[in-house]
Amino acid sequence: MTFLYDLHVHSSNYSPCGRSSADEMCRKAISFGLTGIALTEHDLWWPEGEFSKIQAKYPDLIIFRGVEYACLDGHFLVFLPEPNYGNDLRFRNFSELISRVHDLNGIVIWAHPFRYDRSIPEWLQDANLDGMEVDSNNMDIGAKCLALRVAKDRGYKVFQNSDAHIVDTLGRYYNDFPVLLENVEKLISYIKLNL
């Protein structure tokens, strides 16, 4: 048995560029047959109370709380075992971001790499990434091929996420895992240890 997770989803609730609400995204994910989604708003964590309400409203869908942080070196999906630690995090560059996230026992996935620039960034030489997206609605074929090559060359775990901002693109890309991940702690552990 496999379980389907889209780990990069935005909503109009907290992402200015989002065009569908979290409710619409959750309903679409359920109708599409996804096991879970991650709400990863731009530079902002969902408030605990509101996130708990959306989780309770959709018991047939696992919903992870993450964030897409932007810094000078790109965009990165971050998941923390205690997301409230992330409320005050600000980063100038990748080195600061990954150091702090790993100190908090979280994970960092490079979101839509090579979307804007096909050059291999200098920071990648010593990067301790937990993974890279290699398929996304926001990556053209050149970015996808380069991301896959770089991930394979460096031994990074690969992810396929929609980066959906509207329900029509949700679930176009997703991850097929052989295990049910009921919460963000299990997601983090699985990615760190098993993928």
pLDDT tens-digit profile of 82-92? 877 666 677 78
Q: How far apart are CA 173 and CA 168, in angstroms?
A: 12
Segments in the chain below pLDDT 50 = none
pLDDT tens-digit profile of 115-125? 888 888 888 88
Both structure tokens of 132: 């890279």
For tokens 């990954």, what's the residue?
98
For residue 10, the 8-state DSSP code is -
Structure confidence at residue 42 (pLDDT): 95
Both structure tokens of 60: 């047939």
Q: Domain residues for 121?
A: 3-193
The count of structural domains within the chain is 1
| CATH code, domain carrying 173 | 3.20.20.140
Contact (Cβ atoms closer than 8 angstroms) between residue 111 and residue 97 = no
For tokens 């100190």, what's the residue?
103
Give the number of other CB atoms < 10 A from CB of residue 6: 27
